[in-house]
């Protein structure tokens, strides 16, 4: 079978999601492969089955395929007739299950589309964040994003969304309301909006492509000190540019130190984590990767740090993958003190491919290690200062998100105390770590 192939480095193609998070890359099979498959399989669902097999056969990190006869699996797959995509998808999932790798997985077209939308950092909509008000049980605007169709139409925090294109929102779930609000760029949506002390309004808005804020920053005043607080929710395609903007803004305002909050961050794009690490590090290794052939690649800082002010990183058990790469780089290079809970423990890299029918496939292609060569898979990163929230504290922060990153947030409060007592008088130096030695063969652990 003829194949049209392209070669990409891990940094160009990889994603490293948290629990099951991924992002899209270029498919390695070009038009020639697709034409060949279509000609031989007559555009049947079997073409998708064979494309998945070929991709896994080419890229999967474990060349023994979990000690399964991968060629026999192909013969079994292609010996069957599939009368619908649904049957083909089921066969694909059954084949992938034999690898016993939760990160190598198939996505139907709608799930793949949702994934690429998430990791692109953009949505098609009107630019509002909503919640269900506990007091009124009415869908309420939390925020209208800057320069969005919603903000330009005058929608404000606290406004109530009473109907969407004529459909009442009473008892409507937020997820269902979000699906109604999103739509094709350029299409029109009508909202009935209620505002305290004012008559209801029917507003027509034109949907646009909205850049989703993944970085939020603020200055916290602690005594006579000013802290630059930055929360990063995920490593999407816009995360690095938003992070650079936040660091520069806070640095110009002459904060005394930074707190980078990665709690609950499930990961995302590998390249995004590397770019953000370079904003804090001038020297030293960032991450090492090892592929199925035992080939290793070590990524380093490149003297592009945006600040040298003291830094602390907040993590928890849901800080995964890309979050762990960034945390490991900052910790191993002694650039930051790490506070919080043991992190998730995912040290595997995936590539993601769009298949010929719009479905998608994520494949584990490499294992990564921290700058000191530490394997954190299923182990996580141990904070320098361990502090775990009680269930009551977790409930309080979940119910009052505005308290996160304030004195009422016990993990943040401890972080500030550590910075203030131990590091502000003598700022942390970015000390390059010794060259790491990475294994010559990938470790098969999922």
Burial 292-307 (b: 16+ CB within 10 A, else e): beeebeebbbeeebbb
Which residue in the list 50, 62, 316, 332 is annotated as catalytic? 332
Catalytic member of 273, 316, 346, 433: 346
DSSP-assigned beta bridge partners for residue 124? 209
Residues 362 and 205: their CA atoms lie apart, in Å, by 36
Angle between helices 270-280 and 239-252 (to 10 degrees): 20
For 107, list phi and psi in degrees, rounded to 5. -125, 125
Catalytic (active site) residue 321: yes
Report d(CA 107, CA 114) in Å as an integer.
10
Query: Among residues 319, 321, 323, 351, which one is catalytic?
Result: 321
Residues that are catalytic: 321, 332, 346
């Amino acid at each position: 079978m003829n194949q049209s192939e392209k070669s990409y480095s891990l940094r160009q193609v990889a994603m490293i999601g948290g629990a099951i998070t991924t992002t899209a890359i270029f498919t390695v099979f070009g038009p020639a492969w697709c034409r060949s498959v279509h000609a031989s399989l007559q555009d049947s669902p079997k073409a998708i089955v064979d494309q998945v097999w070929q991709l896994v056969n080419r890229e999967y990190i474990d060349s023994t395929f979990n000690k399964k006869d991968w060629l026999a699996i192909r013969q079994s797959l292609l010996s069957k007739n599939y009368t619908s995509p649904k049957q083909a998808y089921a066969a694909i999932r059954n084949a992938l299950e034999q690898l016993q790798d939760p990160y190598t997985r198939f996505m139907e077209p709608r799930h793949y589309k949702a994934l690429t939308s998430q990791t692109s950092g953009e949505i098609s909509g009107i630019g509002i964040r909503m919640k269900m008000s506990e007091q009124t049980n009415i869908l309420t605007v939390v925020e209208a994003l800057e320069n969005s169709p919603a903000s330009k139409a005058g929608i404000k925090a606290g406004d109530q969304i009473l109907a969407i294109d004529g459909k009442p929102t009473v008892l409507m779930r937020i997820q269902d309301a979000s699906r109604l609000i999103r739509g094709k760029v350029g299409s029109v949506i009508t909202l009935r909006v209620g505002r305290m002390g004012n008559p209801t309004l029917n507003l027509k808005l034109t949907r646009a492509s909205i850049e989703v804020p993944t970085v939020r920053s603020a200055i916290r005043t602690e005594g006579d000190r000013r802290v630059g607080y930055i929360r990063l929710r995920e490593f999407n395609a816009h995360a690095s540019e938003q992070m650079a903007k936040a660091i520069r803004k806070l640095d110009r305002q002459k904060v005394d130190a930074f707190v980078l909050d990665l709690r609950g961050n499930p990961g995302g794009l590998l390249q995004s984590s590397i770019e953000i690490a370079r904003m804090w590090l001038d020297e030293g290794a960032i991450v090492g990767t090892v592929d199925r052939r035992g080939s290793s690649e070590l990524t380093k800082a490149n003297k592009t740090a945006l600040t040298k002010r003291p830094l602390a990183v907040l993590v928890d058990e849901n800080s995964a993958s890309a979050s762990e790469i960034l945390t490991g780089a900052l910790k191993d290079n002694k650039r930051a003190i790490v506070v919080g809970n043991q992190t998730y423990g995912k040290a595997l890299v995936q590539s993601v491919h769009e298949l010929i029918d719009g479905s998608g496939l994520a494949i584990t292609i490499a294992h990564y290690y921290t700058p000191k060569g530490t394997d954190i898979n299923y182990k996580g990163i141990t904070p320098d200062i361990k502090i775990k929230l009680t269930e009551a504290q977790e409930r309080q922060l979940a119910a009052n998100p505005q308290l996160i990153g304030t004195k009422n947030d016990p993990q943040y409060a401890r972080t500030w105390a550590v910075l203030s007592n131990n590091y502000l008088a003598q700022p942390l130096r970015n000390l390059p770590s010794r060259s790491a030695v990475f294994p010559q063969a990938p470790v098969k652990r999922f």
